[in-house]
Each structure stands twice: as C-alpha cells, then as structure tokens.
Chains A and B, each alone.
Chain A
Amino acid sequence: DAEITQSPRHKITETGRQVTLACHQTWNHNNMFWYRQDLGHGLRLIHYSYGVQDTNKGEVSDGYSVSRSNTEDLPLTLESAASSQTSVYFCASGRGTGELFFGEGSRLTVL
C-alpha cells in the first residue's frame, strides 16, 4: 500500500542544534507540505513544494528550510533549534486536486 511516513516520530534536542525531520511518500504525489500543530494555533503551514526543485514558504517559515531533490521526499530542517519550535510536525502530500493525506506526525521537543 502506498503511504506517507515521517521520522523520527519523537525527538528531543537542545537549543541551537540542527534538526532534520524526514518525510517520505510512495504515492508519487507532486505536492508535499509541512505543517506544525500547537495548542491554540491549530495547524499552520511551514513550507510546501509542488514538484522537484520547487519549494515555497508558508505562513510560519522563519527558522525552517526544505529541499526537494526527488518526488518522494521533503525533509524539513531546523537550522538552529529554538524552544519556540517545540511542536508536533505533520507532513502531507497530494496530487493537486486539493485532497491531502497526512503522515503520523513527529513530536519535537527543544530544551
């Protein structure tokens, strides 16, 4: 079965460290997205990509970066982790109809 997987599912890191969250989908979807979920803010868009070599900033992109070197993967990098980036991160993918499918989430704690 095609799917979308995130890793790691849980991570604890220290302020200032670089962190990369992986997202891999096997549906061959062109569109991929990263969201973060925080109490009181719901799900907010961080970065997104509509295809290989395409990346775009979402509403809360400061401190994050993504790269898209193939169709299957969109890793999210925190260059220098901050406590404000403690959150649950969700990756999603879709064909372009607007219907999105989400991974199981990655819980990141920055101490």
Chain B
Amino acid sequence: ETGVTQTPRHLVMGMTNKKSLKCEQHLGHNAMYWYKQSAKKPLELMFVYSLEERVENNSVPSRFSPECPNSSHLFLHLHTLQPEDSALYLCASSQDSGESNEQFFGPGTRLTVL
C-alpha cells in the first residue's frame, strides 16, 4: 500500500449523472494531484494542489471540478461527462510540489461513462 486511497474503485455513470471521486492520503504530504490514464496514451496531469490551493489546471474541461478541503483529501466532482471521459483516474500526493519529490499514487478509480 502506498498510503493513498481512492474511492470508489469502479464507477459507471450516465452522461447526465453527477458523481464524485474521493482521494485520501495518510502520508502528511502537502501536494496532491489528479491524473487521467486512458488506454494507449501517456498519463495526463489534470490538476495540482499545493497547500490546498490549486496551482495547476491543465486545460481540463469544466465538467471536471476539483476540490481540496484540506491537505489530506482531494475530490473530483463529475457532471455531464462524455463517453470519451471513460478512463482510469489516478490520485497522487507528494511531500510538496518540489522538483525532486516523488509522487505516491492511489490505486485509481475506473470510470465508465455510458
């Protein structure tokens, strides 16, 4: 276990649904990240939070809305998604957003949009 948990592990939703993905880290880290992993494509960074402030929004559509209420928790709120949004969504954390720090990943949420 990496110390980063994600729930749910699997999620199936329709295009009109609203759902949320949850990430929790037990490592005392100050930076948290959302990534999207699609088949045959490199991991795509979506959002970066450092000390609970969003420091990076990598041109992500507004149907994805992140929330970081404290340094241990990160959410990804989903609404009116498209089938092409089906992917594995990975959360990660690191000590801080410094260059030399490795990131620790959760197991991911496998999202299917019908």
Partners in one complex: no
- Which A positions have Cβ atoms within 8 angstroms of B? none
